Structure 1
Amino acid sequence: MRKLLAAGAVSLGVLGSCLSAAQASDRAAFAPDVAVQAAGAAQDAVAVVPEPEDLDESSQELDDALSLPVPDAALDEEPPARASLAAEAEDYVAEEDIQAPDPVVNTSAAEVACKARVVAAEAAGDEASVTCASWEPQASVAELSAAVDAWPTPAWCDDNGANGKWYVNRFKACGIFPGSLQEVHPRTGRVTGTMQFLVRAYAYSKRDIKTWAYQVELMEVSSTGTLKGVDAAGQAKCAGKCKVAESTFPSQPMSKSKDAVGQFFMDTTIKTSPKGQKGEGQVTAAWRFSKAGNTSNELSLMTPPVRCDNALPGTSKTGCTMPYIPEMAYAKNGEYPELAQHIEYAQTTKNLPGKHGTKRYLTRLTDKTKMRQNRNKACPSSLERPVGKQCDEYPFASTWQGAEHGGGDFSRRMIDATQNEEGGKALSRFYLYNRIIEKDKFLVWIK
């Protein structure tokens, strides 16, 4: 199971870090992040262009293709740095679309619980200090920024600093969350020790297996007094259509040079048959800090939901994705210039949906009959095709926004036949590699 995820890291451009107990405190090394983007296109010559919808569900061709690395042509572009998570439709999903709770929301409850412990200890005449963990950062922005810069983390994750937010693409989720630890003597109220820390949270899935992983790495930013050299240990639990297959977060000492790491593997619990099953699971990592028998309250951090399915047309393999709306991106000076120019015209001049930077999404249609109806309305066989040209329609016939089922608004244009055919193959690859199933949203980015 762990080997499968690690092997998949090469094709995903992610770290499939599999830590043994001896390695658990070593820092994770991250592979360069690579955008998984395939150029998109319309589909006209179905008889010529094999698409996932036209292959048997047990197709070995699709199963084999699903397990291969993304073609080199799709790896040309590094994802742009994001100034804000609120920006929509580039390489990371908008904040409002990520259903992961903000850990800081629970800070007040944690502080109340901690104060109650202090009051109880004071009333009992207890001389033992009380340690409270919180998501409320006490370190300065400069301290946190310096710590983030010194920590090997994917650029797309740490470019925004330790802002306590999740950043997500189709198969990865990452965030850096600041927190603090404080030890108080109940009788005197004196603070005897503090620690400021960061949590690098990293979840990753794979397009063709039923398992996904979650890693949390706790890094000390600074510490004082009795909280120098604390230990951390924890576990994980999964809610929804998933179960924890493996949980590794043993007690580990923390220091400026040694981080505590927890690694968890989850399996989806959706049924393997019949075809078309899907379900979401959400995993929570929880841990406590301790020093000389004094243990803190529990902190927990939940990932965004992970959708697993066996509903991808053309293959029987189960795979898991993050809550990210992918984009098919290609250039007007690329392999399909006439295709790109047509879609740009359709999106801009005719105001048709699917444009980069908007929320007017395209949604995938997988029913072959309905796809044929879309295609026949936009590009009927009675329409004359000049020599060397084919009829290209937008929105794509394989979307619910197509000519027949999208309300009647569409665009068609005669374009180079080879560009149209190769564009159809690119669209199929885009669906395949991003695991876009029935009614999944996506956008089309013309560069």
Structure 2
Amino acid sequence: MRRLLLPVVLAVAMVVAMAGGTTVANAVPAGAGWRPTAVPRSEVAAGEMRSDREEVPAGFSKAEADRAETLEARRDAAPGCQVYWPAPYEVCGAIRDKYNELGGPNSFLSFPKSNELTNPGGYGKRTEFVNGPIYWSPQGGAHPVVNHFFAAWARNGYEAGPLGYPTSDEIVNPDNIGRRQYFEHATIYWKLNEAYAVRGAIRDKWGEAGWESGYLGYPVSDEFATPDGIGRGARFEHGMIYWTDAYGAHPVSGGLLDKWTLSGYERGPYGYPVADQRPRGSSWDQDFQFGTMGFPTDPVAAGVPDDEGGDTDVDEPEPVTWQDFADDAGLGVSARVTQDKAGSLDPCRPGESCTEEGAATAAPRTVRDLPIADGPDTQGRFIPEWCTRDPFDSRWKVQRKHACATWSNLAVKVRDTKGAEIGRMEYAVKSGILSSHKSGALQQEFRVEFGNFTGEVGKPTLVYQPTYLGYGTGAYSVDGPASGSPVSPNSVKTFVVTWKQQTKPDNTQWSPGLQITWNLGNLAPNVTASNSGTYRYSGFRCDSTFKMARKYRQGCVVPGSTPTFELTALVPEQTWHVQEAIRSGLPGGAGRPLSRLTDQVKRDINRQMSCPRSGPVYAARQLPGRSCDEYPFASTYQGSALSNGPGRTVHEYCHVADLPIATGSTGYSVCMIDAGQNSRSGSLLGAFYRTQRVVDQDDFTLTTTGGAPPAKP
């Protein structure tokens, strides 16, 4: 094993250690040669050595210096060689000439520390110096290889490796920052701290890209073999170059490299690059073995739908009236959950009129039996029948774009100013809030249904105060009776608060805080006002992450309510595929929701894994009128590349012979289905995401009805 140490020497001459053909200030001019300082024999006392007259330089003993002087005196012992006192070694031939050209001991190499050596292959020669060797070969001549260049050459097997012998000294690059040195089969480039070898077709492609001044910059790795043993690659400051025998060398850089890295490089669904990158408008495309990668998005191949696309209600106007909001919310009876305490009553204080929960002897009559005494007639749109059906539990019942709550069997003990109970007022409170996927505004109905009044109740009034938490009074408007208006038995007070849309930055999310504080005041001087109740809700999530009609638009939903995507006979083959895939064990049904993935890069990788757009797999699956359908959807975190499971299909009619018919809880399924249905289904899924404001990582489930398998191929 060759051992060559590179110690740090004290000589100031070592500062210019990287300059091929460059010498330090004390060196003789290039080509002039180095001449030892000799003392004529007539001036030397008999038996006296130079070491007796001069201090021997550090690193050498007197014995070594004396041996060097003896060798210098035997000028006919080794023709073509030279000794450099006090080093007792002979430097010969072309290596001597190069050494003298550089400045001899005054150069960055310092003194020799070996005689001329034959390299392990028995072919070239070298002489080792304090700060590095000079190597010689018949085809390359003599050249020093030092510091980081030597380290890079050593990593690659010295002259016996793929680089071969040096063919030049170090050369300063045009940028006056880095350096390079040529070898028989490669070039080593250095910048600031490290040096790396570039060779073969990868070096040629790098040259086409502009060398170190091009868009790839300097190399930051040696050439390496890919894990599959098929290709080779090298890293540069701003990209990589990969080579295969079948496709040659091609750079991958920028966003395309980020995407390819995320997909797993050549082991991922795209495979090796087969062409250089090319512009596509403001995007870039590059062809790989199994499809075309684009950044930021892949170009959509014919017959391969993007399940984010499709025409939706993006051009419809924002809702304004309560009817608009009610229609948008679609108040069904499915997917209801409960969350958050709906409100509270302040503790009763001695001597005040005070609400008792559950104290009334009978529930107030239903709204249909009560006249609308004051306020807008919303026809129960905010508070549907199912909202009042369940027992009172002081919690909000929510759907994706709706929240409602009811407080039944309430009564106020009416007291006079001395604290004596003088009457009773029965009532119930109902409230409903509607949101829209097309607006950041919300509308809330607050409804008080009064029952029987008994005893002396004075002149009661409805006192209320809306508060949009974090905003002033201009953040909302009220349609209905003014605060402080009088109330009567067996009547209804209702008002609707529009919580206005607030200006928010694009691509943000927030949770609005809505609060209504109210109580029953009294105009009679001898009756106290009732204790106040505070009813608040902060369960909506608003966002400005969806682009509608070419601009971002706000919308609000209840994230705690998981929406359901319904697949029907509109797309029977895709519905059937999803149904069978879920039956085979994949997620998406009740209890195992999918979660939306908005990262276009990761969606492309999912889609490319399940439905490659070129190559033998793509060709084998092709059928007229059909396109590739994957499940779970590419736009979910359960998609193929992220599923951590194997691919499969559900039936031989799917025409996916490269995948088995199998079951299991992980993985993905592929089926070739009617191309029109596949495209239509993608549009429907895109519309579902928008209308339900399904943002990144939001869960959703699926239902399937009316599916039918594709025809036998």
Give me the TM-score of the superposition, normalised by structure 1: 0.69
Matching residue within 674, 693, 697 for 1:435 = 693
Aligned counterpart, 2:447: 217
| Higher RCO (CA-CA < 8 Å; seq separation 6+) | 1
1:244: how far off? 5.8
- AA aligned to 1:376 is Q
Cα deviation 1:125-165 (Å, max 9, x = unaligned) = xxxxx20124x22235x635x42664753234233365543
- AA aligned to 1:284 is Q
C-alpha separation in 1, matches of 2:402 and 2:458 = 33
Is 1:159 paired with 2:159?
no
Structure 2 matches for 1:34-433, cutoff 5 A? 63-64=314-315, 81=333, 90-92=334-336, 94-95=337-338, 98=339, 100-103=340-343, 106=344, 110=346, 113-114=347-348, 116-118=349-351, 130-134=352-356, 136-139=357-360, 143-144=363-364, 146-147=365-366, 150=369, 152-153=379-380, 154-160=384-390, 162-178=392-408, 179-184=410-415, 191-227=421-457, 230-239=460-469, 245-248=475-478, 249-269=482-502, 271-272=504-505, 275-291=506-522, 292-293=524-525, 294-313=528-547, 315-323=551-559, 324-331=561-568, 334-350=569-585, 352-355=586-589, 357-358=590-591, 360-381=592-613, 382-383=617-618, 384-408=621-645, 409-433=667-691
Question: Kindly tell me: are residues 201 and 310 of structure 1, through their superposed partners in 2, closer, same or farther at Cα, counting changes over 3 Å?
Answer: same
Contact 1:206 1:319 in 2 (8 A): yes
Give 3-state SS (helix, strand or coil) of 2:644's partner.
coil
Give 3-state SS (helix, strand or coil) of 1:177's partner.
strand
- AA aligned to 1:91 is A
Give 3-state SS (helix, strand or coil) of 2:582's partner.
helix
C-alpha separation in 2, matches of 1:164 and 1:196 = 18
Aligned counterpart, 1:84: none
Question: Kindly tell me: are residues 131 and 319 of structure 1, through their superposed partners in 2, closer, same or farther at Cα, counting changes over 3 Å?
Answer: same
Question: Kindly tell me: are residues 308 and 416 of structure 1, through their superposed partners in 2, closer, same or farther at Cα, counting changes over 3 Å?
Answer: same
- Larger mean CA deviation between 224-233 and 370-379 belongs to 224-233
C-alpha separation in 2, matches of 1:46 and 1:221 = 66
C-alpha separation in 1, matches of 2:393 and 2:350 = 29
C-alpha separation in 1, matches of 2:697 and 2:406 = 32
C-alpha separation in 2, matches of 1:430 and 1:257 = 44
- AA aligned to 1:258 is S
Contact 2:414 2:425 in 1 (8 A): no
1:309: how far off? 1.3
Give 3-state SS (helix, strand or coil) of 1:213's partner.
strand
C-alpha separation in 2, matches of 1:348 and 1:320 = 33
Contact 2:544 2:552 in 1 (8 A): yes
Contact 1:232 1:251 in 2 (8 A): yes
Question: Kindly tell me: are residues 205 and 156 of structure 1, through their superposed partners in 2, closer, same or farther at Cα, counting changes over 3 Å?
Answer: same
C-alpha separation in 2, matches of 1:68 and 1:253 = 32
C-alpha separation in 1, matches of 2:486 and 2:581 = 59
1:213: how far off? 2.0
Q: How many residues align?
A: 352
C-alpha separation in 1, matches of 2:455 and 2:420 = 12
C-alpha separation in 1, matches of 2:302 and 2:472 = 40
In structure 2, the gaps of 5 or more residues are: 1-298, 321-326, 371-378, 646-666, 706-713
- AA aligned to 1:277 is T
Cα deviation 1:340-382 (Å, max 9, x = unaligned) = 12111222222x2221x32x22221111111011111112233
In structure 1, the gaps of 5 or more residues are: 1-43, 70-74, 82-89, 119-129
1:299: how far off? 0.5
1:50: how far off? 7.6
Structure 2 matches for 1:24-35, cutoff 5 A? none
Contact 2:517 2:533 in 1 (8 A): yes
Give 3-state SS (helix, strand or coil) of 1:180's partner.
strand
- AA aligned to 1:345 is E
Aligned counterpart, 2:194: none
C-alpha separation in 1, matches of 2:401 and 2:369 = 25
Contact 2:434 2:442 in 1 (8 A): yes
Contact 2:476 2:499 in 1 (8 A): yes
Give 3-state SS (helix, strand or coil) of 1:310's partner.
strand
Question: Kindly tell me: are residues 241 and 427 of structure 1, through their superposed partners in 2, closer, same or farther at Cα, counting changes over 3 Å?
Answer: farther
Contact 1:278 1:308 in 2 (8 A): yes
Aligned counterpart, 1:37: none
- AA aligned to 2:444 is Y
Give me the TM-score of the superposition, normalised by structure 2: 0.45
C-alpha separation in 1, matches of 2:556 and 2:342 = 23
When Rg is computed on C-alpha atoms for both structures, the one with the higher figure is 2
Aligned residues: CA RMSD: 3.3
Question: Kindly tell me: are residues 308 and 397 of structure 1, through their superposed partners in 2, closer, same or farther at Cα, counting changes over 3 Å?
Answer: same
1:301: how far off? 0.8
C-alpha separation in 2, matches of 1:385 and 1:241 = 58
Contact 2:305 2:679 in 1 (8 A): no
- AA aligned to 2:460 is V
Question: Kindly tell me: are residues 201 and 79 of structure 1, through their superposed partners in 2, closer, same or farther at Cα, counting changes over 3 Å?
Answer: closer
